[in-house]
Amino acid sequence: MGIFETLTFTLPELALAIGSMALLITGVLLGDKSTPQISYGCVGLLIIALVLTIAGPAPQNPSIFDGAFQIDAFATFAKVIIFAAAAIAILMSHNFVEGEHGRHFEYPVLIVLAAFGMSLMVSASDLISLYMGVETQSLALYILASFNRDSRRSTEAGLKYFVLGALSSGLLLYGASLVYGFSGSTSFEEIARVAAAEEDNVGLIIGLVFLISGLAFKISAAPFHMWTPDVYEGAPTPVTAFFAAAPKLAGMALFARALTVSFPGVLQDWQPVVAMIAIASMVVGAFSAIAQTNIKRLMAYSSIGHMGYALVGLAAGTAQGVSAVLIYMSIYVAMTIGAFACILMMRRRGGMTESIEDLSGLTKTNMPLAVILTVLLFSLAGVPPLAGFFGKWYVFLAAVQADLVWLAVIGVLASAVSAFYYLRIVWFMWFDEPAPAFERDAGPSLRFAAWGSALLMFPVLTVFIGSLRQVAENAAAALF
């Protein structure tokens, strides 16, 4: 296969790479006043990439570039959600980009470049491309975290994220080098062949554990979660909205592919590790969030907990488990975008507010926002018949069918605890004395994101959960 034919299969990535460079040059020529136009250009670019992902040519053999890059239903599923989430994140940054702190045209371009890195991650089927995809994405995210460079907290968040991210990359590379040393190849499929052929390959398992640690850091699963609350709180809120959605899905997809494609033969070795990480994340997410007063920190702990639930599905190690992970993560991304759209609407004359107390009595001052937030919080808590419930249901079902009943039971208990702090906010909104009202001119994109997300949770996904499940099962089948 010639290089040009190969390149036609990577059209979405090519479009993102070339398009972001073109927009960068345009931005340099026109200056920072062109930021809104560059933003719309970036959104257009992500939509083009999304269309190319769905409609672009598919190769006969899903793996190209000597097995470094995989184009299958699994990658397509993840990429569609990543590109959509990144486009919405840019639209939601409207007020930030117009304001004085975010008025740099590099902001939307960096989000596009992060999406580019994520699409490399979900297609990676080789240890080298895995690492390079992760670094492309992380580097863009470090810059975004400290984007508000005049704020002490934002730069602190960026620095913390960078240092701990570099540490986790070190763990990842250490693990990758051990795996390479003991298997003789960096390709996932060859590693799987060697791992299945040799019993008790201790070096390979130790490498695998380091690999899991590095990846767990990237998706902020406990016990590698310490950076999350600080980074979420310190980074500008639109950036946090982006952090909490697409990168989590990309990291989880990479995690699922790395474990199920390269280590299916040693499931009994990594299953307890993933199960332990899942339990730790669920417990940390459930108990640490109770004492929070800042809503961004609360969302950080909530996302740690959600990673735990998704990992329950991965711990099952079956096609059903991976499809449950995909369903869970896509619902999670939609919920999180909506929740952050609501947080971005918490604006008073003095600027943004982030305290949970500011939501008191929201029903009396701003009924539509209160209704949206209530729906999203119920969905985050996993109350039927909202979509969040189905995500948890499929994950726990996959765990039970893989004989991990105890893990599912712990998951149900943790989600009962976590329901407490979600419902506490609902209580504040409906039954407390009203706090001063928020400003009403939120802008169409935030309203669209919030309403869209709430309507997806109920009733759209409640009705169409079957079709989502079918698509996710189709995608997961590509890995087995």
Partner 1 sequence: MIGAIAFYVFALAAVAAGFMVIAARNPVHSVLFLISAFISVAGLFVLMGAEYLAMLLIVVYVGAVAVLFLFVVMMLDVDFVEMKQGFLQYMPIGFALAALVVIELITVLAFWAFPDEATLARAHPVPTAAETVADPNGPTNIEAIGLVLYTDYVHYFQIAGMVLLIAMIGAIVLTFRMREGIKKQDPAAQVARGKDVELVDIGSGQGLS
Binding site for partner 1 (CB under 8 A): 3, 17, 21, 24, 65-66, 68-69, 104, 106, 109-110, 113, 116-117, 120, 128-129, 132-133, 135-136, 139-140, 142-143, 146-147, 149, 158, 178, 182-185, 190, 193-194, 197-198, 201-203, 206
Neighbouring CB atoms inside 10 A of 234's CB total 24
Our CB check for partner 1 shows the closer of 43 and 109 to be 109
Q: Where are the alpha helices (DSSP H) in 93-201?
A: 94-98, 106-123, 127-145, 152-183, 188-197
Q: How far apart are CA 274 and CA 294, in angstroms?
A: 30
Q: How far apart are CA 426 and CA 438, in angstroms?
A: 17
Question: Minimum Å distance from CB 143 to partner 1?
Answer: 4
Could you tell me the two tokens for 363?
Answer: 């029903």
Q: How far apart are CA 241 and CA 318, in angstroms?
A: 31
Q: How far apart are CA 201 and CA 195, in angstroms?
A: 7
Question: Minimum Å distance from CB 274 to partner 1?
Answer: 19
Q: How far apart are CA 274 and CA 216, in angstroms?
A: 9
Our CB check for partner 1 shows the closer of 191 and 380 to be 191
Our CB check for partner 1 shows the closer of 150 and 433 to be 150
Q: How far apart are CA 170 and CA 334, in angstroms?
A: 32
Our CB check for partner 1 shows the closer of 273 and 319 to be 273
Question: Minimum Å distance from CB 223 to partner 1?
Answer: 13
Question: Minimum Å distance from CB 416 to partner 1?
Answer: 34
Could you tell me the two tokens for 374?
Answer: 């209530």
Q: How far apart are CA 78 and CA 252, in angstroms?
A: 10
Are the CB atoms for 222 and 200 separated by under 8 Å? no
β-pair partners for 69: 64, 124
Our CB check for partner 1 shows the closer of 143 and 256 to be 143
CB environment 235-259: b (16+ within 10 A), e (fewer): bbbbbbbbbbbbbbbbbbbbbbbbb
Q: Comparing C-alpha atoms, which of 83, 87, 167, 176 is closest to residue 122?
A: 83
Our CB check for partner 1 shows the closer of 144 and 316 to be 144
Q: Comparing C-alpha atoms, which of 385, 209, 214, 418 is closest to residue 303?
A: 418
Our CB check for partner 1 shows the closer of 39 and 302 to be 39
Question: Minimum Å distance from CB 20 to partner 1?
Answer: 9
Instruction: Provide the angle, in degrees to the nearest 10, between the axes of the packed helices 405-431 and 295-316.
Output: 160
Our CB check for partner 1 shows the closer of 47 and 128 to be 128
Question: Minimum Å distance from CB 61 to partner 1?
Answer: 14
Our CB check for partner 1 shows the closer of 101 and 424 to be 101
Q: How far apart are CA 188 and CA 155, in angstroms?
A: 37
Question: Minimum Å distance from CB 190 to partner 1?
Answer: 5
Question: Minimum Å distance from CB 228 to partner 1?
Answer: 21
Give residues with Cβ within 8 angstroms of 87, minimum separation 6. 42, 43, 46, 47, 50
Neighbouring CB atoms inside 10 A of 466's CB total 8
Question: Minimum Å distance from CB 195 to partner 1?
Answer: 11
Our CB check for partner 1 shows the closer of 139 and 273 to be 139
Q: Comparing C-alpha atoms, which of 455, 335, 338, 313 is closest to residue 392?
A: 313
Question: Minimum Å distance from CB 477 to partner 1?
Answer: 25
Question: Minimum Å distance from CB 43 to partner 1?
Answer: 19
Are the CB atoms for 117 and 133 separated by under 8 Å? yes
Our CB check for partner 1 shows the closer of 146 and 302 to be 146
Residues in the chain: 480
